[in-house]
Chains A and B, each alone.
Chain A
Amino acid sequence: MPKTLAEKVYDAHVVRSAAGEPDLLYIDLHLVHEVTSPQAFDGLRAAGRRVRRPELTMATEDHNVPTLDVLKPIADPVSRAQVEALRHNAAEFGIRLAPMGDRDQGIVHVIGPQLGLTQPGTTIVCGDSHTSTHGAFGALAFGIGTSEVEHVLATQTLPQYRPKQMAVTVEGELPEGVSSKDVILAVIARIGTNGAAGHVIEYRGSAIEALSMEARMTICNMSIEAGARAGVIAPDETTFAYLQGRPHAPQGTDWDAAVEYWRTLRTDEGAVFDSEVVLDAAELAPFVTWGTNPGQGLPLTERVPDPAELADDNERRAAEQALAYMGLTPGTPLREIEVDTVFLGSCTNGRIEDLRTAAELLRGKRIDPDTRMLVVPGSIGVKLQAEAEGLDRVFTEAGAEWRGAGCSMCLGMNPDQLKPGERSASTSNRNFQGRQGKGGRTHLVSPSVAAATALTGRLTAPADLAETAGV
């Protein structure tokens, strides 16, 4: 029977299947960070269990990590205790840890691909919903809760129910200035913040195939913002070229064997999807969110919507609540919204290509004097690469702040937070109330919109810059 890519990966990992029970799925790689793991390790200790496969487990410190004074002890005692708990647990259970200061440290979803641990056809889990990122390689990768973290540590497996299959097909060529972030924001606006619940999304079509690995990661990363269990993209030559030579990628004859297998990881002709969404790449534009969930987004050329025009009671109430929180008036052109802070970073858009894109727009210019711009590389590896290319100087000469690596203002578990009422344009993934700091207001954007916005102090597409400059 023809299968989808996700079904092939799923089926290849079923350890045990029995009627009336969930399947038992083998997990190839378990990524661990400090926030969702301490209670899981406590559970192992209480039951006298060990980590079944420490060599399939990799830990790093990312959520709590300060982006200033990174070589000093963490000032916040609660954050420090959580990071120290991970260090203690990694040592006790024999797990490799990339701690602050280590050259492999970074956001867990940035370092997996960077190290070559993320590979096609594997199953990957982490106590973090943005684990869907790794699906860009054709891996089945999904976020789990702490009880499941404990389960994977103890057994290297997870009980799972077979997900439904959704295809998101994007054909054609993306216009200049439109990135994969705009594609995924448009998808989420179309299907809603939980519209893909119970599904794995496969992104396909010529516009997806044309994307770099990092751009693909941005799309898969935000699958969870549409409620999907995971997102996948079929591995191809772009994938293999990205992986070859990375520290944990197969080598020599192993590489050949792996690539031979990876080439089979494509959805079969005639495979059935439970639902399909089709987008025309040529019609996409730079996108921005106006509300308090990632589905509340529009092209930047639009205006703040009027809740009164929404027919559905729940949607109307949600829009009213969102606009009240965001301090926005219906009918306001989105391009007139002024921001206080621009955040460039996160597991969505904190990779080298994202930094290059933003730096290109900022090179030789100064950001708006009333706007603060934080640039936070996704990992030490990204930071070192950017510095080798001189991007750090482009940012600092433009007036932006060049910081250490971590999750930072995506969720404000470290000191990088918005103040109440402050408004950001952020390349991260969630515009939830208070996500970037109590009372903070978030507009999700792409790296190029973030950079253009930093220059003007209001939501701006790169093309708008050319217009104002009379080019």
Chain B
Amino acid sequence: MDAFTTHTGTAAPLRRSAVDTDQIIPAEYLKRITRTGFEDGLFVAWRTNEPDFVLNQPQYADATVLVAGPDFGTGSSREHACWALLDGGFRVVISSRFADIFKNNSTKSGLLTVVLPQADVEALWQAVEADPATPVTVDLQSRTVTYGDTTVPFEVDEYTRWRLLEGLDDVGLTERHLADVEAFEAQRPSWLPRALPALPA
């Protein structure tokens, strides 16, 4: 996972709520067994069927910050949704509320999800609609979103922030606690399920 410290780019206003992961990337693109190259599936139905969809507008085509309505990323657990956004050039998604699994996946794949109150999202929408070239800076060090004269703080838990700043992968961190895992395993009841073929009674 790439480390995230600070990012400056232009922002696309996605005025839709409850954007589900089937819209971010439809299931047919999930047949691939690679971890990259999902940009062609990103919002593909809306890009195909709606000429005025925000990402079809040239002034937002190079945006790297997506500013979405509430409840972004509901539905399927597909991490491909994060990969598609990253492959499509986005480094940050801002919303007033995310679905849990999407938010969790984002922290594993290096996509920064920033929660701001809906009033701040609305103000940011208006700013980037008034001037699509507005640079937006998302700084994970100082936990702020800045555009024009406006700076808005955001919250992120210290552990996730540290992992993202360092670009650390969880497996390596957990392996430091292998002794704890082994101690736990030693006291598990013997009757817990095992997936090996069942023996005849």
Contact = CB atoms under 8 A, between A and B. Distances in A.
A293 B196 contact: no
A154 interface: yes
B77 A145 contact: yes
A257 B15 CA distance: 55
Contacts of A165: none
B201 A251 contact: yes
B17 A413 contact: no
B99 A143 contact: no
Given A39-B35, A56-B194, A154-B171, A194 B99 contact: yes
Given A56-B195, A96-B197, A35 B45 contact: no
Contact of B100 (A28, A57, A227): A227
A229 B100 contact: yes
B39 interface: no
A55 B194 contact: yes
Interface in A237-266: 247-248, 250-251, 254-255, 257-258, 261
B22 A432 contact: yes
B100 A198 contact: yes
A168 interface: no
Interface in B16-54: 16-18, 20, 22-23, 26-28, 30-35, 45, 49
A293 B171 contact: no
Nearest to A38: B33
Range, interface on chain A: 35 or more
Contact of A250 (B32, B99, B181, B191): B191
B18 A194 contact: yes
Contacts of B97: 194, 197
B177 A82 contact: no
Contact of A143 (B101, B109, B177): B101
Chain B CB within 10 Å — which of A144, A146, A321 has the most? A146
Chain A CB within 10 Å — which of B26, B31, B197 has the most? B31
Contact of B71 (A116, A156, A194, A248): A194
Contact of B74 (A193, A411, A439): A193
B78 interface: yes
Interface stretch (A14-22, A267-275, A348-356): A14-22
A247 B200 CA distance: 9
A39 B184 contact: no
A147 B99 contact: no
B108 interface: yes
Contacts of B177: 15-16, 24
B190 A254 contact: yes
B1 to A, nearest CB: 8
A49 B35 CA distance: 18
Interface string B172-198: 011101101100110011111111111
Interface stretch (A1-9, A121-129, A444-452, A457-465): A121-129
Contact of A146 (B79, B174, B188): B79
A148 B26 contact: no
Contacts of A434: 22-23, 26, 45
Given A56-B195, A254-B191, A430-B75, A314 B69 contact: yes
B159 A21 contact: yes
B45 A24 contact: no
Contact of B195 (A58, A161, A251): A58
Contacts of B149: none
Contacts of B189: 257-258, 261
Contacts of B171: 43, 47, 49, 150-151, 154-155
Contacts of B201: 251
A227 B41 CA distance: 24
Interface in B66-102: 69-71, 74-80, 82, 97-101
A293 B18 contact: yes
A82 B30 CA distance: 9
A413 B30 contact: yes
Interface in A267-319: 293, 295, 314-315, 317-318
Given A150-B171, A321-B16, A193 B22 contact: no
A248 B193 CA distance: 6
A108 B19 CA distance: 26
A22 to B, nearest CB: 6
A456 interface: no
A358 to B, nearest CB: 25
Given A22-B159, A318-B16, A318-B18, A432 B75 contact: yes
A318 B78 CA distance: 23
A151 B171 CA distance: 5
Nearest to A39: B35
A99 interface: no
Give me the 9 closest cross-chain CB pairs, A-B, nearest first. A145-B79, A147-B108, A145-B105, A58-B195, A38-B33, A254-B191, A143-B77, A194-B71, A250-B191
Interface of A: 15-16, 20-22, 24, 26, 28-29, 35-36, 38-39, 42-43, 47, 49, 55-58, 63-64, 76, 78-79, 81-82, 85, 95-96, 116-119, 122, 127-129, 143-148, 150-151, 154-157, 159, 161, 192-194, 197-198, 224-225, 227, 229, 247-248, 250-251, 254-255, 257-258, 261, 293, 295, 314-315, 317-318, 321, 411-413, 430, 432-435, 438-439
15 contacts: A24-B180, A39-B33, A56-B193, A57-B195, A122-B193, A128-B77, A146-B80, A154-B174, A155-B178, A197-B99, A293-B20, A413-B28, A430-B76, A434-B23, A435-B22
